[in-house]
Amino acid sequence: MNSFFIELIGYMAAFFGTILMLPQAFKTYRTRHVADISLVMLVVYIINCMLWGVYGYFLHSVPMLLCNGFALIIGFLMLSMKILFSGPSAK
């Protein structure tokens, strides 16, 4: 298979993997409603992004590093909003 095509698939996966949580992040920021967002899911998501990022580093895979680096940032933003907006003063 053509290496350009394979790289294109990698970059497309990186793009969609990165934007995966963006709609939820924007909605959470806008509404400040986090009751239905699972803390466990966010922690597992962050661990997943970290592990894929490390794996991508060892493979020297730019798409994996980009996707999981940005996804990790979004995951930490979501976790931060979950913590900040869950407190008693958040209402």
Residue 90 confidence (pLDDT) above 80: no
Residues 6+ apart with CB under 8 A from 86: 34, 35
For residues 28 and 11, the model is more confident at 28
For residues 18 and 90, the model is more confident at 18
Model pLDDT for residues 19-36, shown as the tens digit of each residue: 889 999 999 999 999 999
Architecture of domain 3-90: Up-down Bundle (1.20)
Which pLDDT belongs to residue 89? Answer: 62
Domain residue limits, the chain: 3-90
Model pLDDT for residues 29-68, shown as the tens digit of each residue: 999 999 999 999 999 999 999 999 999 999 998 878 888 8
Other Cβ atoms closer than 10 A to 29: 12
